[in-house]
Structure 1
Amino acid sequence: MPSDVKNHLSGIERRLGVVGKEHAKCKVHGDYIAVIRESGERTGCPNCREKERAEEERLRKLEQFVCAHRSRAKIPRRFEGKTFADYSAKAEGQRKALEICAGYAADFGDHLKAGRCMLMLGKVGTGKTHLAVAIANFLIHERGISAIYRTVGGIIDEIRSTYDGGKGGEAEIMKILVGSDLLVLDEVGATKATDFELATLFRIINGRYEQCLPTIIVSNLGPKELPAALGERCVDRLRENGGILVPFDWESARSGVKA
């Protein structure tokens, strides 16, 4: 920076309380001119301040998104605060599942572009829903990405309620289910699938497949049993383009809890 710093102050600057200027140096961005005010305050690096403003604006928009998206996400109260940090990973299988799920969330931009789905299958009480919701929570709260949680039974009940004059309409429900960046579909295969259920699930999964949008399936079934609950065509679509299978084959965490 040249040594002839302009210390001349305009009338506007003086009215704003500026009493001088001086050379300053930012460790990151190098030389700049610091403005000195009557209070003795010296302005910092303008480039750093611009980054701070950008981050403040990002956080403001993220907060607005989270508030607006919370009701649409419909994450149950029991799971709404679940994160990767509070998942208990003591066994090797648990640590591997945590690593895969955290990686899926961190690299979600790539999975979104590819429409890459995830199948979280295995025993009851092994933390499948916890990790699935942790992915959704990370995307919502850290990235501002739309992620919603639904159970199969909840979807069927919600759609059927519209036939009796319930709030909203089937088309509106399907628009949300098919259009969200991520859908976590839980309790797949919890009950014997009816023709209506299979047809509805195909509409959702195929609709998301056509839009190249990822779906996470959470089920207590194994890979060979899953087609009976979803249909072969749905499973085939979920596996396409490198669909990720995460097995949960350890014992339930609830088994050691005394009744």
Structure 2
Amino acid sequence: MGRLKAKSQEFSETTVVEKPDYNCHKCKDEGGYMVRKKAGETTLVRDNDQLVERILKFDSDEWQQCECAKLRQLNRLIKSSAITEEFQKMSFKNFSTDGVHPKVTEMKSKANQYYAAFDQIKGYRQNSIMLIGQPGCGKTHLLTAISNYLIHTRQVPVLYFPYKDGMNNLAANNFERKNEIMDRMKEIDVLFIDDLFKPIGGKVDVKPWQAESIFEVVNYRYLNNRPLLVSSELSLDDMLYIDEALTSRLFEMAQDFTVTIPKDMKVNYRLRKVFEK
């Protein structure tokens, strides 16, 4: 009996108690931790739905959000944006304007101006940007760069909607998810519509239900001052011919940030090697 007791005691003394396996050891997966603040330090308090600074009169413990929680939120925003991994690499820095058409340089400058002004204009009617005209000149790159910066630096929810594939999505399974998809397009903070009314085989063929669906989304965002990022290969005249009510709303929303690239295959970045010969 004594031998068994000694054996048991020996086992318990050598047993290693494993530490909990946390993803974040700083907050132990709680999303935050308590921080001691001294009297005289400033703190943020909510007043009428706004965060304002206050000076502490007494020492107090405050909950502080951990960086891991911010990172999880950012990852959720990236995933919900529907922006592919390849598109997530697009930025203003890797958009070259060496030897390009002056309008392309203007387009990059306008995209930069829009991003810089976003916080000031987002709640007004003129809060959108539209880059239209010649394909292959970088319209999608610049609007994707804006989207990436809004998500990463300001945690703004963005939804990427490629027109052609998006319309196929709406029509899939006999339109059973149409309302769900369109509601998300209406309510998201920023909607990026890429290649609006994209021509197929050089021909513009917009079905009535497609124009009606886009108009419903755009009109809702127009009435509720929700920003849009729009690219299209078509000119304003082409878009007005397809749907004047829709296009006039888009132009009003983006009138301060609209750039039209003239149709010229030499401006097509993807064909640059053809014209270098």
TM score, norm. by length of structure 1:
0.71
Pairwise CA RMSD = 2.9
Cα deviation, residue 59, structure 1? 5.0
Q: Partner residue of 1:137?
A: 148
Cross-structure match for 1:255: 271
Aligned to 1:37: none
Query: Structure 1 counterpart of 2:206, which letter?
Result: A
Q: Encode CA deviations 1:38-86: one digit per residue, 9 max, x unaligned.
A: xxxxxxxx959999xx9x8485454222211222211134322101111
1:212-236, Cα deviation, whole Å (9 max, x unpaired):
111122011112111234x111111
- Which of 211, 215, 232 is matched with 2:224 structurally? 211
- Paired position in structure 2 for 1:172: 180
> Aligned equivalents of 1:64 and 1:248: distance in 2?
39
Q: How far apart are the structure 1 equivalents of 2:170 and 2:248?
A: 25
| 1:199 maps to amino acid | E
Q: Structure 2-normalised TM-score?
A: 0.67
Spell out, residue by residue over 1:17-51, the C-alpha distance to the aligned partner (whole angstroms, 9 max, x if none).
xxxxxxxxxxxxxxxxxxxxxxxxxxxxx959999
Question: Distance between the aligned counterparts of 1:143 and 1:103, measured in 2?
Answer: 16
Unaligned runs of 5+ in 2: 1-39, 45-52, 54-61, 200-204
Using a 3 Å threshold, how does the CA distance of structure 1 residues 242 and 58 change in structure 2: closer, same or farther? farther
SS at match of 1:224: helix
* Letter matched to residue 254 of structure 1: R
2:112 to 96, 102, 114: 102
Choose from 180, 193, 198 the match for 1:185. 193
* Equivalent residues of 1:178, 1:204 under 8 A apart: yes
Q: Are 1:62 and 1:144, in contact at CA under 8 Å, matched by a contact in 2? A: no
| Equivalence for 1:67 | 75
Structure 1 residue 176: Cα displacement: 1.1
Q: What secondary structure sits across from 2:250 in the alignment?
A: helix
Identity %: 20
Distance 2:188 2:66 in 1: 21
* Structure 1 range deviating more: 243-252 or 102-111: 243-252
1:144-188 CA deviation, whole Å, 9 max, x = no partner? 0011111112221111224276xxx32221121011111111111
Question: Which runs of structure 2 are paired with 1:217-228 in the superposition (5 Å)?
Answer: 217-228=230-241
Note if contact 2:132-2:260 (Cα within 8 Å) is conserved in structure 1: yes
CA contact (8 A) 2:130 2:230 kept: yes
1:76 correspondence with 2:84: yes
Task: Quote the residue 1:4 is aligned against.
Answer: none
Aligned amino acid, residue 72 of structure 1: S
Q: How does 1:1-259 map to 2 (within 5 A)?
A: 57=65, 59-90=67-98, 91=100, 92-115=102-125, 116-163=127-174, 169-191=177-199, 192-229=205-242, 231-240=243-252, 243=255, 244-249=257-262, 251-257=267-273
Structure 2 vs 1, CA of residues 99 and 59 (structure 1 numbering), >3 Å: closer, same or farther? farther
Q: How many residues align?
A: 209
